[in-house]
Structure 1
Amino acid sequence: MFRTLGGGALPAIDAKTAHTHSVANLCTDGVRLYSAALGVGRIARTEVEPAPCLLEFGLLLPDPDDDSWLRPVPPSAALAQRLHPLEREIQDRRRTSVELTDAFEPFMAISAQRPAATHAITVLEGIDRINGALDLAISESRTEVLTVQPGGKRSEEVLSEALARSKPLIDSGISVRTLYQHTVRHSQRTYAYVDLMAGARMEIRTLEELIERLIICDDTVAFIPARDDPPIALELRHPGLVAYLTKVFEQLWSRAVPLNEAAPYDPARDGITGVQRSIAQLLVEGHVDEAIARRLGMNVRTCRAHVAKLSAVLGSTSRAQLGYLIARSGILDQDS
C-alpha cells in the first residue's frame, strides 16, 4: 500500500465497492479510468467511484490545487515503487545463498575426499516426512514397485492417494504389484480403483492374512512401519535387508490369489469356516480381538461375531474355556 502524497484527505472507501484483486490484475474499470487519467493528466473524483482500487493502490493522488480532482501517478514511478522491495528481497536471498555456500564449502571439501555413504536405516517421523520420502523413492523407481497393504476395505481417500501415486508410475511403464487381504473383495471402491487402472502394468492379489505394511522400490529401498502414534516409519537401503524383504514379498505373492479369480475360502467343516479356523488359531496364540481383526483385515465387530460363532459351535461359555475347547477339538489339526 502506497502512502498518499500532497494535501487533501482521500475519501473513505465503501466496503461494498472495495476490490480484492491485486495491482497486477487491475479490474476493467481500473484500467479504463487510469488510462483516461494518464491521457488528460487528471480525473474527477466522482468518475473514480467504480474503481476504488486506483486509490487503494496509490495510482491516483489528490490534486493539490483542487480537491475535487485526482492526478495519476506516472506508471514508471508506480512500477519502480513496487519493484524496489522485490529487487531488495532478491538481493537478500542471493546474499544468503552465497553465505550458505561459503559456510558449507569446508565441509563439502572434506566430504569429497570420501565416497558418499548411504544410510542403511533412516528413521522417518511424522506423516509429512514419511510421505515425502515415499514419494521421492517412488518417483525415482525405474522397474517395479512392490506393496503390501494389510487391512480391510479401503476408504475413498486411501484409494485416491494410491491412484495418485500409482498412475505416474504406470504411465512411465513401471510395473506395480500389490498384496491386499481377501476382505477387500467385498469393497466396490477397490474394484472401481482397479477399473481406473485397467490396461496398466499393475497386478493385485489377495491373501487371508498379511504382514504389516511394506513398500519396496526397485530392490533398492524399502519402507516399513515402526510405530503408529506418533507415526514413525523406517527407510531401509541396506541391500541385504531389502533383498530379504523382497523374498518375503515373493513368498506371500506365490500363495496369493489374483483379484479377478475367486478366493479359495475353505468350506465349513463341523460348522466352522476357514476364516473362523484362522481366528481360532490366533485366539490360541493369545491375540485379543483387536489384534485378530487387524491381522485378518476385518473390523472388530465382524471378528467378535466369528468368535461368538466358534463359542456356539464348540459349546464354550467363557473366553478361557473357548481356548481350551479349540485346542481339544482338533479343528486346527485339520488339513486346509
Structure 2
Amino acid sequence: MAGHGAEEHPHGADRLCGAGERVYSRAVRRGRVPRRDAEPVPCLLELALLHPDPDDMDFLVPTAPQEVMTRLLRGMYDEVSDSHRRVGSAVAAFERYAGLGRQVQLSSAAGEGTAIRVLDGLSRIQAAMDEATEACTTEVLTVQPGGIRREHELTEGLHRALALRGRGVRMRDLYTHVARHGQGLLNYLELMGDAVEARTLDEVIDRLILFDRTVAFVPANADRTMALELRHPALVEYLVTVFERLWRLAIPLTAPLPDTGIEGISHREQSIAALLAEGHQDAVIAERLGISVRTCRAHIARLSETLGAASRTQLGVRIAQAGLDGAPRTAGAGAVSVPGAAGPGSPTGR
C-alpha cells in the first residue's frame, strides 16, 4: 500500500477521485467489493464510504448514499457560515449516489448491515462512541474486564463520562474484583459522584458498552482495533439481559468481599481454586480474573501450601475436599477439614 496514502487523495466524500468513484459505484451496484479492489483508493475507507462486511472481512460493503449525505450535511451545518459552497457540492454528490442507489433493491441483508456495523480503526471507534454519547439521554451500562484500571484507560473516555453526567445520565459499571485495588478507579468514581454506580465480580465478559439500551459496542478482534456497533433490537436486548444478570450477581464496590469461610483462603484464591478445578491453565485463569500470570502462580503456591498439596494433581483433590471447586454440597455433608490449616500433621479429609 505504499504510495497510496491519503496525501494522494486530497478530497472529501462530496468530490471523489476518479478511481474512488469507480470503486464506490461498483460497490453500490453489486452490494460489496473485494477488499483488494479498494487498496489503491484508501480514501474510501478513511471517508467511511466503504467498511468491512461483518459476514466476510475479505469484502467491503458501501455506506448507503443517504447516510453519506446525512454525514456530509451534519458536518457542514456546524460551520454553515463558510460552508455554502460545500453544501452545493454535497447535494450534487448525493444526486449521483442516489441515482446509483435506485438500481439496488433494499434487502434484509442491507438492513442487517445498518444494524451491525464494523468499525475499523481506533479513530472510527472513538468517533462512533462520541456520536452515541451525544445522543444518549438516560443510561449507560458498561462491562470493563481486566485488572487494575490504568490511568490512561480511565482518562481516555473521561470527557464522555463528564458530558453524560452533565446531562443527568445514569451510569452502571461492572469490573473484576481486582479493579478494587486501583487508586485510579477510586479517584474516577469520586469525581463522578452518584452519577456512576460500580460493582465487581470474580470475572466478567469481554468489554461491553450500552447506550440507552438501543446501541451497543463490543470488540471485534483481540487487540480491540476493530469493534462492532450493534443496533439490532434483539441483539441489544440480549446484551442488556446478560448485563442485568451479571449486575445482580455482582458486589457493590462500597461493600467488602464476602469471607470464604475457610481459614487461610482468600476470596481470590477461592476463585482460582474453582477455575483450577475446571481444568484451566494458569494463563487462562489470570486473564479471566484480571491478574498477571505471576500473581496467579503465587496464589496457586499459597493454595497448595494451605491445603497441604505436594503436586497439582493432589491440589485438585484437596480443592474438591475443601469444597472450593464450586460443586454443590449435599444437605447432610459435614464441614470438611482443610489439610494443613490446623497445623502440621493434621488429617486429610476423605
Q: Does structure 1 conserve the Cα–Cα contact (< 8 Å) formed by 2:257 and 2:267?
A: no
Is the counterpart of residue 261 in structure 1 residue 258 in structure 2? Answer: no
In 2: Cα distance, 1:153 partner to 1:251 partner: 23
Equivalences for residues 263-302 of structure 1 within 5 A: 263-267=257-261, 269-302=262-295
Please state how far the C-alpha of 1:273 moved relative to its aligned partner: 2.6
Q: Distance in 2 between matches of 1:145 and 1:282?
A: 31
Distance 1:262 1:313, change over 3 A: closer
Q: Distance in 2 between matches of 1:143 and 1:91?
A: 35
1:262/1:331 CA distance change after superposition, 3 Å: closer
Matched position secondary structure for 1:146? strand
Rate the CA distance shift 1:91–1:152 in 2: closer, same or farther, 3 A: closer
Q: Tell me the residue number matched to 2:342.
A: none
SS of 2:157 mapped into structure 1: helix
- Assess if the C-alpha contact under 8 Å between 1:125 and 1:230 holds in 2: no
Q: Structure 1 CA distance, aligned partners of 2:268 and 2:94? A: 61
**Equivalent in the alignment of 2:229:** 235
Q: Count residues in correspondence.
A: 244
Query: CA contact under 8 A between 2:260 and 2:270: conserved in structure 1?
Result: no
Does the C-alpha gap of structure 1 residues 255 and 331 become closer, same or farther in structure 2, counting only changes over 3 Å? Answer: closer
Q: Identity of paired residues, percent?
A: 47
Query: Alpha-carbon deviations, 1:18-66, whole Å to 9, x = none?
Result: xxxxxxxxxxxxxxxxxxxxxxxxxxxxxxxxxxxxxxxxxxxxxxxxx
- Change in CA separation of 1:298 and 1:126 when aligned onto 2, cut-off 3 Å: same
Structure 2 counterpart of 1:123: 118
Distance in 2, Cα, partners of 1:142 & 1:110: 38
The structure with the largest alpha-carbon Rg is: 1
Which moves more between the two structures, 237-246 or 289-298?
A: 289-298
Question: Among 192, 202, 213, which residue is 1:208 paired with?
Answer: 202
Unaligned runs of 5+ in 2: 1-82, 330-350
Please name the residue that 1:222 is paired with. 216
Q: CA RMSD in A?
A: 3.0
Q: Which amino acid aligns with 1:293?
A: A
Whether 2:161 is the aligned partner of 1:170: answer no
Alpha-carbon offset, residue 205 of structure 1: 1.5
- Following the alignment from structure 1 to structure 2, what is the Cα–Cα distance between the partners of residues 227 and 125? 10
SS across alignment from 2:206: coil
Per-residue deviation, 1:120: 2.9
Partner of 1:8: none
Q: Does 1:135 find its partner at 2:130? A: yes
The 1:126–1:322 alpha-carbon spacing in structure 2 relative to 1, beyond 3 Å, is: farther
Residue 130 (structure 1) shift:
2.1
Equivalent position amino acid for 2:162 in 1: K
1:153/1:187 contact within 8 Å kept:
yes
Q: Could you tell me the TM-score, scaled by structure 2's length?
A: 0.61
